[in-house]
Structure 1
Amino acid sequence: MYNAKGRTDNNAMLKQYSPLVRRLAHQMIAKLPANVEIDDLIQVGMIGLNDALGRFDAAQGVQFETFATQRIRGAMLDELRGSDWMSRGNRRQQRNIEAAVHKLEQRLGRAPHESEIAAEMGISLTEYQELLGKVRGTQLVYLEDLSGDEGDDDYLERHVGTEEANPMAVLQDMRMRTALVDAIKLLPEREQYVMSMYYEHDMNLKEIAAVLKVTESRVCQLHSQSIARLRVKLREW
């Protein structure tokens, strides 16, 4: 978009791509504790969008939305890292949940119910569900955020000692993919739906809640529990 003088109209571009900022914020919020406000993420994301407008060079052959997405996510992640969004106590509680899930899976030979996990942890079901809301999510890392400042794709290759230590190589390992697919198949049916809608169909919490006829906070609980189960399975792998 250009103004009457043929220059990029930043205000018009900010307005056009503000829905992208909101969409990325809603995608990220399910992976974050309840104390993180969606409006704060959107505000920081708009700063990232403005930065993208100032840095974008069409001559590089990259679409603006792709470039802006990286800058917006990067701005949000920088803000989260700087504010230490997950406390040590929450991290410890997350590990406690995973430990309880692991013990029960070994004992029962199946995915444990929420009530069973709560009992294993010595707390009520209500307390356990509230805990899921507090510890929801894990450390956020997007592969595109691991590129260099100038977007060089070989950044990972230049910063790892061996091919085995390259996280990209691990992600591309078919055994790892197979283990993840198998772990997802072992999730309870409703949690499988949540993971599919969130990651495969790019739906936000409100949309998933409408489909499942539950509250957004309940979707967050189911997402947190799914992540805990998957982390246990992949740690075994």
Structure 2
Amino acid sequence: MYTAQGALEREQLVRQYAPLVKRLAYHLMAKLPASVQVEDLVQNGMLGLLDALSRFEDGQGAQFETYAVQRIRGAMLDGLRENDWLPRGVRREMRRVEAMIHQLEHQYGRQPLEGELAGALGLSLEDYQTLLLEARGHQLLYLEDMNGDSGEGYLERNAIGDGGDPLQMLEDADMRSALVRAIGALPEREQLMMALYYEQDLNLREIGEVMGVSESRVCQIHTQAVARLRAAVVGGERTPVTKAKRGRRPKGVTA
């Protein structure tokens, strides 16, 4: 139970951090299809904020904000996963793309070009780029890849607490190192897009203006970059690579 003063302070903190929830929601929207409503993200994010306030004792300062961001994003992603907003056929096709990236990278000794990927998958370049648009945000559904054998999530392991498991910290450091190497191996254009989005915090329209391409093309580049990173860090062996009939859409993928 909260005292009147405690309830008032909690309400003030909710108002204080509400803009943070909206900012995170709009930033996440850049990775999601138009069918996802920003209001739903904000609503789930507010639940995450309330959860953070109840779990964090001090509830103030930069340290709390760092913790709250984890909880807010986690609540938004949980909401997306529960709604299963991305067609299974698209997820299946993107796993096939990742497996092909992994295969061609070993074959060529470099990152495959977009046209090479499309051809190897038995798709026209136009169909492949359409798939990238349809799969916008598919990586958000793969949080289980970050789970340990115990089933504990990455965010739970890295939430603020009293110390941590040294072995787990080493494994997480190895994951970060692998990710840094994978980003460094991306084609130059994809590296630029990732830097503008994740480091400079630009939205898709602004990135398009910098790169001289359309917003939809930025979405395609982002999806392909993430597929390359997943193929490098997670590995592409989980899904067998089979060719689709050339010039036709993969089954289960709609325009």
TM-score grouping bracket, smaller chain normalisation:
0.7 to 0.9
What is the one-letter code of the residue matched to 1:192? Answer: Q
TM-score of the superposed pair, with normalisation by structure 2: 0.69
Q: Distance in 2 between matches of 1:153 and 1:147?
A: 11
Cα distance 1:57–1:185, how it changes in 2: closer, same or farther (>3 A)?
A: closer
Superposed, which structure 2 residues align to 1:169-188 within 5 Å?
A: 169-173=170-174, 177-188=176-187
Query: Is the contact between residue 204 and residue 218 of structure 2 (CA under 8 Å) also seen in structure 1?
Result: yes
Query: Is the contact between residue 53 and residue 59 of structure 2 (CA under 8 Å) also seen in structure 1?
Result: no
Q: Distance in 2 between matches of 1:190 and 1:60?
A: 40
Superposed, which structure 2 residues align to 1:51-90 within 5 Å?
A: 51-53=51-53, 57-58=57-58, 63-90=63-90
Query: Is the contact between residue 48 and residue 72 of structure 1 (CA under 8 Å) also seen in structure 2?
Result: yes
Alignment partner, residue 99 of structure 1: 99
TM-score of the superposed pair, with normalisation by structure 1: 0.73
Query: Is the contact between residue 33 and residue 85 of structure 1 (CA under 8 Å) also seen in structure 2?
Result: no
Q: Provide the aligned length of Structure 1 versus Structure 2.
A: 219
Cα distance 1:133–1:152, how it changes in 2: closer, same or farther (>3 A)?
A: same
1:2-40 per-position Cα deviation (integer Å, ceiling 9, x unaligned) = xxx893372x65444333112212333355455433332
Superposed, which structure 2 residues align to 1:202-213 within 5 Å?
A: 202-213=201-212
Cα shift at 1:106: 3.4
Alignment partner, residue 118 of structure 1: 118
1:46-84 per-position Cα deviation (integer Å, ceiling 9, x unaligned) = 333345456654279874423432332232122123223
Q: Determine what percentage of the aligned residue pairs are the same residue.
A: 51
Cα distance 1:54–1:86, how it changes in 2: closer, same or farther (>3 A)?
A: same
Superposed, which structure 2 residues align to 1:133-172 within 5 Å?
A: 133-136=133-136, 137-138=138-139, 139-140=142-143, 143-146=154-157, 152-153=161-162, 157=165, 163=167, 166=168, 168-172=169-173
1:132-180 per-position Cα deviation (integer Å, ceiling 9, x unaligned) = 12223422468444467xx5456x74xxxx94xx3x422213xx55543
Of residues 54-63 and 197-206 in structure 1, the stretch that sits farther from structure 2 once superposed is 54-63
Q: Distance in 2 between matches of 1:88 and 1:15?
A: 38
Cα distance 1:27–1:87, how it changes in 2: closer, same or farther (>3 A)?
A: same
Structure 1 gaps, min length 5: none
User: The residue matched to 1:91 in structure 2 has which SS?
Assistant: helix
Cα distance 1:118–1:153, how it changes in 2: closer, same or farther (>3 A)?
A: farther
Query: Is the contact between residue 48 and residue 71 of structure 2 (CA under 8 Å) also seen in structure 1?
Result: yes
Cα distance 1:112–1:17, how it changes in 2: closer, same or farther (>3 A)?
A: same
Cα distance 1:232–1:119, how it changes in 2: closer, same or farther (>3 A)?
A: same
Q: Distance in 2 between matches of 1:222 and 1:118?
A: 14
RMSD value, Cα: 3.4
Alignment partner, residue 19 of structure 1: 19
Alignment partner, residue 44 of structure 1: 44
Q: Distance in 2 between matches of 1:19 and 1:63?
A: 17
What is the one-letter code of the residue matched to 2:128? Answer: Y
Cα shift at 1:225: 0.7
User: The residue matched to 2:202 in structure 1 has which SS?
Assistant: coil
Of residues 58-67 and 214-223 in structure 1, the stretch that sits farther from structure 2 once superposed is 58-67
Cα distance 1:27–1:169, how it changes in 2: closer, same or farther (>3 A)?
A: farther
Of residues 176-185 and 139-148 in structure 1, the stretch that sits farther from structure 2 once superposed is 139-148
Cα distance 1:77–1:153, how it changes in 2: closer, same or farther (>3 A)?
A: farther
